[in-house]
């Protein structure tokens, strides 16, 4: 380490993978060309320089395939750079892909012992903490079952609970928190805030930009393996979204001229949920949902029993925006993603009704639609 204040120091680091020539599709071709130098060098990270100080909370952001997970693996030292150096200072723990370091035929409890011992805890230390680890994971009822029976969310609960209980100085976390349910995610982020405030170094890879902004003091944007921007999360995220919007628009325009792209849309009916039953005594009900599309011309059509509803209002949907910003960046207006309409239940006959939402091009092509059936009774 050059600077002892640093937890992580990366110097002029390049990582590449050898990949087989993509043109060789068949097994026969692969066998014929095996060992004849058909492998191509695929550069994943280019000349990265990075200092992360002790106690910093840093987010790595970037589109799929930009090199974020590879960078975390290099920090964890499960893979090594081809050029340059990656050094870390302090006890390090990481949550990478699900399952790394776990044995599926063994129980949750046994895996806590395996996993925590990899991080350097003695049997006695683990004995002292195991109750706390199990409690945090909320897996009490499943802890003596083999973990091959676990769901991915349960797996993550176990891995996270161990990782935060091994007294590491540096915590590296890849996306995996996203597989937890809302309750457990909230709990994980609360724990991470607590670790952050107690001076731990945290590096987190995430596509949840809201989380990045709230948890981290610094964000680093990796763009096609290059170090693109480093700074305050709000600023880095803003620039990142601008670039995605530009890339999306260019890619779609190019593919459209090639006849390879059709406009897309996604929409949803939040209320009424399928098969809901309303009493006329409730008088009115707000029906609502959301729609995203990359078509400038497409419009929303909401119909009740086949008849288009007038007076649909549009409103802000932050959650929808966050879920689709990468795929639809440059096409989304956060203020109008939601739609709603007040329905007068007393005007409806008793029995089943059908609410349909459609994302429709001017020529009548329906990009996406959804139907929910609901009933009205006295
Ligand atoms: N073992 C490997 N062999 C060959 N190529 C690899 C290997 N690991 C990663 N890559 C390539 O490296 C690039 C970066 O992958 P990486 O997993 O770091 O991306 P990422 O930024 O984490 O993306 P995501 O957001 O999808 O998780 C990708 O093009 C991927 O195909
Ligand atoms: Mg990744």
CA-proximal residue: ligand 1, atom 27 (nearest): 64
Mapping DSSP onto H, E and C, the string for the chain reads: CCCCCEEEEEEEEEEEEEECCCCCCCHHHHHHHCCCCCCEEEEEEEEEEEEEECCCEEEEECCCCCCHHHHHHHHHCCCCCCEEEEEECCCEEEECCCCCCCCCCCEHHHHHHHHHHHCCCCHHHHHHHHHHHHHHHCCHHHCCCEHHHCCHHHHHHHHHHHHCCCCCCEEEEECHHHHCCHHHHHHHHHHHHHHHHCCCEEEEECCCHHHHHHHCCEEEEEECCEEEEEECHHHHHHHHHHHHHHHHHHHHHHHHHCCCCCCCEEEEEEECCCCEEEEHHHCEEEEEEEEEECCCCCEEEEEECCEECCCCEEECCHHHHHHHHHHHCCCCCHHHCEEEEEEEHHHCCCEEEEEEEEEECCCCCEEEEEEEEEEEEC
pLDDT tens digits for 9-21?
A: 999 999 999 876 6
| Closest atom, ligand 1, to C-alpha of 66 | 21
Ligand 1 atom closest to 42 (CA):
5
Residue nearest to atom 24 of ligand 1 (CA): 64
Domains, the chain, with CATH or none:
6-90+169-242 (3.40.50.300), 265-377 (2.60.40.10)
Nearest CA to ligand 1 atom 17: 69
Residues with CB under 6 A from ligand 1: 17, 19, 42, 44, 62, 64-70
Mutate which of 70, 74, 177 for ligand 1? The one with the most ligand atoms within 8 Å of its CB, which is 70
The Å distance, Cα 158 to ligand 2 centre, comes to: 20
Expressed in angstroms and rounded, the spacing between residue 69 Cα and the centre of ligand 2 is: 4
How far away, in angstroms, is 218 Cα from ligand 1 center? Answer: 23
| Mutational test site, ligand 1, from 41, 64, 67, 223, max ligand atoms within 8 Å of CB | 67
User: Measured in angstroms, how far is the CA atom of residue 54 from the centroid of ligand 1?
Assistant: 27
User: Rounded to two decimals, what is the model's pTM?
Assistant: 0.79
Centre of ligand 1 to C-alpha 164, Å, is: 26
Determine which residue's CA is closest to atom 6 belonging to ligand 1. Answer: 17
**pLDDT tens-place string over residues 195-249:** 999 999 999 998 888 888 999 999 999 999 999 999 999 999 999 999 998 988 8
Ligand 1: nearest atom to the Cα of 79: 1
- φ/ψ bin of 77: left (φ > 0), alpha (ψ from -120 to 50), beta (otherwise): left
Q: What is the pLDDT along the chain (378 residues), one digit of tens a residue?
A: 889 999 999 999 999 998 766 565 566 665 665 555 567 788 999 999 999 999 999 999 998 899 999 999 999 998 999 999 999 999 999 888 766 678 889 999 999 999 898 888 999 999 999 999 999 999 999 999 999 999 988 999 999 999 998 889 999 999 877 778 889 989 999 999 999 999 999 999 988 888 889 999 999 999 999 999 999 999 999 999 999 989 888 888 888 888 888 888 899 999 999 999 999 999 999 999 999 999 888 999 999 999 999 999 999 998 899 888 888 888 889 999 999 999 999 999 999 999 999 999 999 999 999 999 999 999
Q: What's the 319 CA to ligand 2 centre distance in angstroms?
A: 22
Q: How many CA atoms lie within 13 A of 110 on its CB side?
A: 11
């Amino acid at each position: 380490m050059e600077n002892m204040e640093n937890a992580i120091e990366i110097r002029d680091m390049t990582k590449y993978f050898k990949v087989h020539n993509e043109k060789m599709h068949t097994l026969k071709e692969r066998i014929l060309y095996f060992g004849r130098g058909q492998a191509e060098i695929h550069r994943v990270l280019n000349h990265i320089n990075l200092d992360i100080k002790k106690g910093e909370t840093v987010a790595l952001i970037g589109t799929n395939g930009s090199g974020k997970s590879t960078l975390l693996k290099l920090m964890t030292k499960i893979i090594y750079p081809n050029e340059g150096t990656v050094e870390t200072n302090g006890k390090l723990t990481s949550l990478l892909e699900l399952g790394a370091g776990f044995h599926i035929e063994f129980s949750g409890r046994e895996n806590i012992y395996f996993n925590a011992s990899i991080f350097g805890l003695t049997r006695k230390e683990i004995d002292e903490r195991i109750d706390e680890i199990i409690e945090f994971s909320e897996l009490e009822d499943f802890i003596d079952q083999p973990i091959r029976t676990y769901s991915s969310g349960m797996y993550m609960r176990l891995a996270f609970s161990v990782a935060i209980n091994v007294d590491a100085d540096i915590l590296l976390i890849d996306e995996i928190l996203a597989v937890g349910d809302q309750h457990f995610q909230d709990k994980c982020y609360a724990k991470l805030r607590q670790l952050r405030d107690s001076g731990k170094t945290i590096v987190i890879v995430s596509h949840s930009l809201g989380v990045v902004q709230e948890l981290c003091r610094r964000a680093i944007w990796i763009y096609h393996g290059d170090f693109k921007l480093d700074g305050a999360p709000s600023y880095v995220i803003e620039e990142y979204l601008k670039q995605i919007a530009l890339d999306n628009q260019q890619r779609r325009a190019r593919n459209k001229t090639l006849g390879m792209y059709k406009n897309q849309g996604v929409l949803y009916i939040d209320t009424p949920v399928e098969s809901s039953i309303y009493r006329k005594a409730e008088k009115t009900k707000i029906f609502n949902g959301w729609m995203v599309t990359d078509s400038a011309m497409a419009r929303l059509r909401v119909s009740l029993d086949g008849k288009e509803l007038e007076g649909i209002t549009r409103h802000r949907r932050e959650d929808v925006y966050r879920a689709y910003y990468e795929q639809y960046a440059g096409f989304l207006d956060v203020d109008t993603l939601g739609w709603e309409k007040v329905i007068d239940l007393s005007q409806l006959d008793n029995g089943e009704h059908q609410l349909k939402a459609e994302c429709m091009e001017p020529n009548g092509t329906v990009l996406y639609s959804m139907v929910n059936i609901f009933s009205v009774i006295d």
